Amino acid sequence: MGVPKRKVSHARQGDRRAHLAISVPHLEACPHCHQPKQVHHACPVCGYYAGRPVVEIKQEKPQQQA
């Protein structure tokens, strides 16, 4: 079994991992509420996916001032 003779430098190690960079998620307009949402995910604003409601969105209660 082969064993490395010397330590691999950070530059060479980074060259191998060039494809591991984090990219910005792709967004599209929700067909129901027209807000930007991530592709293949339920809309975080209205809860619709593929034209039907799949997630129930909780509404914030207005706080009463004393």
Amino acid at 55: V
CB 24 within 8 A of CB 8: no
Spatial separation of the C-alpha atoms in residues 2 and 15, rounded to whole Å: 21
Buried b (16+ CB within 10 A) or exposed e, 8-24: eeeeeeeeeeeeeeeee
Q: Around 9, how many Cα atoms within 13 Å sit in the side-chain half-sphere?
A: 3
* Every domain of the chain and the residues it spans: 25-57
Spatial separation of the C-alpha atoms in residues 31 and 52, rounded to whole Å: 11
Per-residue pLDDT of the chain (66 residues; tens, 9 = 90+): 889 899 999 999 999 998 998 999 999 999 999 999 999 999 999 999 999 999 998 888 888 776
Q: What is the pTM of this model?
A: 0.61
